[in-house]
């Protein structure tokens, strides 16, 4: 097993608690699914939100999904002028047999435009 990092992002329409929780849960689930990861293979997750998202901690969605023994951290993205608004990002550290080349990073909703180089 190796420790690998998996990235992901999604965008919400509004600074709304339920939207943040739903979009974050969708992102976490898709990262696990696309990389064939079990929850016990997750070492830690760091979530960031653009400064316009303050209605809820994204990590709470992961807790609600059962990732209760995984260290989770939330932070704010820097406010870069012209950056895409209302974006939630994820960086997960995982134990996996996958090589770096085989890791599937996940960009959903409007955030897919951040990484047009990745397969959908």
Q: Would you name the residues annotated as active-site residues?
A: 7, 63, 74, 77, 89, 107, 115
Give the DSSP H/E element, type plus range, for residue 107: strand 106-107
How do the residues of the chain divide into helix, strand and coil, expressed in percent and rounded to 5?
A: 30, 30, 40
Q: Can you tell me whether residue 103 is helix, strand or coil?
A: coil
CA 83, 45, 96, 40 torsion-angle sign: negative
């Amino acid at each position: 097993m190796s420790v690998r990092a998996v990235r992901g992002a999604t965008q919400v329409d509004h600074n709304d608690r339920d939207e943040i929780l739903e979009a974050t849960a969708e992102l976490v689930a898709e990262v696990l699914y696309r990389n064939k990861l079990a929850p016990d293979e997750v070492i830690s997750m760091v979530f960031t939100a653009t400064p316009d998202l303050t209605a809820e901690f994204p990590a709470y969605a992961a807790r609600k999904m059962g990732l209760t023994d995984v260290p989770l951290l939330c932070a704010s993205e820097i406010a870069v002028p012209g950056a895409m608004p209302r974006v939630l990002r994820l960086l997960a550290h995982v134990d996996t047999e996958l090589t770096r080349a085989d890791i599937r990073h996940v960009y959903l909703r409007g955030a897919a435009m951040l990484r047009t180089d990745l397969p959908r």
